[in-house]
Amino acid sequence: MRMWPLSTYPRYAPDWLDLHPEALIGGILEAPAAPARCAIDNLEELRGLPGVETILTASEVPCYPFTTAGQPEPEPSPYDTLILNPLSRYPGEPVALMAASSLDALYHIRQRAKITYEPWYGPLHDQHPNNVAEAVHYSSGPAAPSEADSERFKTTIHVGRVSHMQLEPHAAMCSFDEENRLVIITTTQVPYHVRRIVARALNCPVSRILVKATDVGGGFGGKQEVIVEPWVAILAVKTGKPVKMMLSRRQEFILTRTRHAATLTVESQWHGRQIREIAMSADVETGPYASHGSTVAHNMGLKSLPLYRAEAYHFNASVRYTPGPVAGAMRGYGGPQGAMAVETHLNQVAARKGLSPWCLRHKVLAQTGDALDIFTAASSFKRIHHTNLRNLLSRTRDAIGEGSPMATGEGIGLAMSMQASGVPGSELAEVSIGVDEDGSLFVKTGAIDIGQGARETLSNIIYDALQLPRGHVPISFSMGQTQDFGFDYGTYASSTTYVSGLAAYKAAGIVRRKMESLARSMMRHSELKDTPLSECWTALAHSSFYGPRRHPVMGHAVARPSDSPAPYAIAAVRLTVHDNGELVIHHIVIGVDAGKPINPRGFRGQIEGAVIQGLGYALWEELELDHSDTHVLNPSLFDYALPAPQDIPPLDIIMAQTEDPTTPLGAKSVGEVALAPIAPAIVGAIFRARGIWMRTLPITREKLWNALMAQRETVTPS
């Protein structure tokens, strides 16, 4: 399928697919327009083409509704899709699935297919006649705080769609094993959800499906969606043969998922330098299928408002079905949209009050012990802030040089963000660790290495828990292999270190206790007395298989934390806006409180990657749609602008020296938190440089130039 290897050994799904030349190649016939009812006029002719094994249309595949959002049960996302939907709701949506012996045969089908369509003018889903998938209303605190001596402020911003742009495309293969189970090899962040969702789509027991997740060559949440797997599964079922499918880059843009576009408004009421009331309303465009729309919308408010102390909080969101590509989970998961709104609002309030953004935040930042779960019922578990960020705020301010002389057109911007460490109250991870006869360890987990260094992180946790020097014995992993168990809700929501890591820590603790017990028993009768465990580890391991006890050592543990401590990021950006709209970023400082770094190199890599992705979100990236908001206009890397290495400004990372008290590891998460504050920090810096507020992302040179011109025309010299 490809001309080049992603890896020199089969590590990623496309590599595994290449090792199966016998498999049929799956493909899709795409809807040319949407919303529309599409039909293939020459279906029988296409089925007769050489090399074509099958072509399946909507009427020939199971019709059990499901959601593609990879989340645990009870799934918060509506079951609003089918393997093949009779009504095509976005251009590129599969009208038919096909399997053939060669790419040429698929090509001929696409060339010869006569697809006609009848435009659809009704609601996108009958159950939602007004195209509103969900409306959310949350409130806490007094219903109507006193208006006396108060000021009111309001900010509205708009953020567009962006693509995940992971290097590795979605790819999967489905075949049968010796027990006639369906075996799906796939690149996914959620192997157990893939198993369950495919089972639902096919209406078969989960035990009939084995998922073998590979390492993920970039996910960013895009592989928390179950997209390709039901397609290869039904093609394998219908043909009785292995079927593999890999999406092209164009398909990655048009038929996988995007970040949600949204228009957000933040209103606040202030008494001096105290927030009496802060309210966010979000109009969220989820595309023609809801996917993660509901939970992403929730997080726009829940990951941004609790950073600040207020007497009352309000959050309203409307999640609308819209034409165009489907939105879904993406790094930050609502946080970037929420931060753009709340942080820009705070910066605007500071400017109106004549305060620096640093000073205002010092006043209104949440304190240690303040509620993180601002809308949770009093009876349920409430997370709290464990950190006072003021020291980190000051260090970040000093590092960016706030207060130093500024050149013309130069400005410094500030913004903050918070995330979670796993989904609060909804995480489960199971880890098993065994000691092999040579002393090496094998670890079974449902967590996946998605490039974030999960192997290194879990290894370090295990070594530390075993009190062995890091690297003392080899550790091999079985990750995301459902036949091996090691259940895990998935590698998303920045959960691997905090949740799967905790399970690994507990399992390693069990192993250590068993090995110590074995050592004590052996030492009574040998010269090993008082030998440190690390020095007799191999001998103990061998003895556990062949010694008098004959009891191999294994540890198994489960983590299901109810807490999910928030990591924080403080971004400071120093930039210059030139008269021609050109924006030059001189320096970014990012202060991060993510607890104790378990894997320092991976920790830093996650921050750097998130900052760069945040830069793309702020300045370049946008999935452009046509005038009808339906067709993607730039589905290629030739037209979709990404940050290039030369665009990355000097970046300094300040790590808060904290240890999270809710876990023995002391570590929170770091995968997502540094992305969200970049855009609002740039917006704030532009204001301080030029006095204009850019409220729509991305801030392209053209938009900035137009804003500067508008300012020049409206500002009359005195």
Partner 1 sequence: MRWIEAHTIRQVQRCLSANVPIVGGGSWLLSDGSVPEAVCDLREYPWAQGITGNESGWMIGPDVTLSQWLQALDSENVIAEVIRKMGTPIFRRVATVIGAVANPQPVADLYPVMRLLGADIFYIDLHHDSIQHEKLMWPFRANPRALVGLWVPASTPYRFIAFRKYTKGRLTRVLLNLGTGLAQQGDIMTADFVIGGLSQWPYEDRVAGASHSISHQISQRLRNQGNITPFYQALIMEMCDDVLNQWEHRADRRSEL
Q: Which residues bind partner 1 (CB under 8 A)?
A: 104, 107, 110-111, 248-250, 580-581, 620, 636-644, 646-647, 700, 702, 705-706, 709
| Least distance (Å) between residue 251 CB and partner 1 | 8
| Least distance (Å) between residue 250 CB and partner 1 | 5
b or e along 112-146 (b: 16 or more beta carbons within 10 Å of the residue's beta carbon)? ebebebeebeeebbeebeebebbebebebeeeebe
User: Where do the DSSP E strands lie in 187-324?
Assistant: 209-213, 243-246, 261-271, 274-287, 310-321
User: Where do the DSSP E strands lie in 466-610?
Assistant: 475-479, 554-559, 568-577, 583-593
Tokens 């990355």 -> residue: 648
Q: By C-beta, is 121 or 638 nearer to partner 1?
A: 638
| Least distance (Å) between residue 186 CB and partner 1 | 21
- The runs of H, that is alpha helices, within 467-552 are 501-523, 533-546
b or e along 313-347 (b: 16 or more beta carbons within 10 Å of the residue's beta carbon)? bbbbbbbbbbbbbbbbbbbbbbbbbbbbbbbbbbb
How far, CA to CA in Å, does 7 sit from each of 12, 16, 605? 7, 10, 20
Q: Is 679 helix (H, G, I), strand (E, B) or coil?
A: helix
Does the CA dihedral 66-72-75-76 come out positive or negative? Answer: negative
| Least distance (Å) between residue 644 CB and partner 1 | 4
| Least distance (Å) between residue 168 CB and partner 1 | 15
Q: By C-beta, is 79 or 705 nearer to partner 1?
A: 705
| Least distance (Å) between residue 715 CB and partner 1 | 17
Enter the DSSP assignment of 308. Answer: B
Q: By C-beta, is 246 or 282 nearer to partner 1?
A: 246
b or e along 297-311 (b: 16 or more beta carbons within 10 Å of the residue's beta carbon)? bbbbbbbbbbbbbbb
Q: By C-beta, is 324 or 635 nearer to partner 1?
A: 635
| Least distance (Å) between residue 575 CB and partner 1 | 17
| Least distance (Å) between residue 639 CB and partner 1 | 5
- 158 beta partners: 263, 696
Tokens 């075996």 -> residue: 183
Q: By C-beta, is 539 or 641 nearer to partner 1?
A: 641
Instruction: Count CB neighbours of 93 within 10 A.
Output: 24
Q: By C-beta, is 250 or 596 nearer to partner 1?
A: 250
Residue pair 410/689 in contact (Cβ under 8 Å)? The answer is yes
| Least distance (Å) between residue 253 CB and partner 1 | 10
H or E stretch covering 186? strand 182-186
Q: By C-beta, is 249 or 395 nearer to partner 1?
A: 249
| Least distance (Å) between residue 102 CB and partner 1 | 12
Contacts with 386 (C-beta within 8 Å, 6 or more apart), sequence order: 368, 565, 658, 660, 661, 662
| Least distance (Å) between residue 693 CB and partner 1 | 19
Q: Is 593 helix (H, G, I), strand (E, B) or coil?
A: strand
Q: By C-beta, is 603 or 640 nearer to partner 1?
A: 640
H or E stretch covering 305? none
Q: By C-beta, is 572 or 615 nearer to partner 1?
A: 615
Round to whole Å and give the CA distance between 162 and 623. Answer: 5
Are β-strands 441-445 and 475-479 bridged in parallel, bridged antiparallel, or unpaired? parallel
| Least distance (Å) between residue 633 CB and partner 1 | 12
Residue pair 511/554 in contact (Cβ under 8 Å)? The answer is yes
C-alpha radius of gyration, the chain, whole number: 27
- The runs of H, that is alpha helices, within 154-258 are 191-202, 228-239, 249-255
Q: Which amino acid is at 151?
A: E
Length of the chain: 718
| Least distance (Å) between residue 99 CB and partner 1 | 19
Does the CA dihedral 327-332-334-338 come out positive or negative? Answer: negative
| Least distance (Å) between residue 110 CB and partner 1 | 8
Q: By C-beta, is 530 or 713 nearer to partner 1?
A: 713
Are β-strands 87-88 and 36-40 bridged in parallel, bridged antiparallel, or unpaired? antiparallel
Q: By C-beta, is 58 or 113 nearer to partner 1?
A: 113
Q: Which two tokens stand for residue 115?
A: 């697809």
Q: By C-beta, is 289 or 640 nearer to partner 1?
A: 640
Round to whole Å and give the CA distance between 701 and 705. Answer: 6
Q: By C-beta, is 3 or 378 nearer to partner 1?
A: 3
Q: By C-beta, is 73 or 713 nearer to partner 1?
A: 713
Q: Is 607 helix (H, G, I), strand (E, B) or coil?
A: helix
- 185 beta partners: 173, 212
Tokens 């010694």 -> residue: 547
Q: Which two tokens stand for residue 631?
A: 């067709």
| Least distance (Å) between residue 311 CB and partner 1 | 44
Q: By C-beta, is 176 or 705 nearer to partner 1?
A: 705
| Least distance (Å) between residue 643 CB and partner 1 | 7
How far, CA to CA in Å, does 134 sit from each of 78, 156, 297, 703? 9, 21, 9, 32
Q: By C-beta, is 7 or 706 nearer to partner 1?
A: 706
Q: By C-beta, is 234 or 679 nearer to partner 1?
A: 679
Q: By C-beta, is 231 or 620 nearer to partner 1?
A: 620
| Least distance (Å) between residue 532 CB and partner 1 | 52
Round to whole Å and give the CA distance between 488 and 432. Answer: 12
Round to whole Å and give the CA distance between 395 and 655. Answer: 10
From 104, 366, 83, select the one nearest 228 (Cα to Cα). Answer: 83
H or E stretch covering 182? strand 182-186
| Least distance (Å) between residue 647 CB and partner 1 | 6
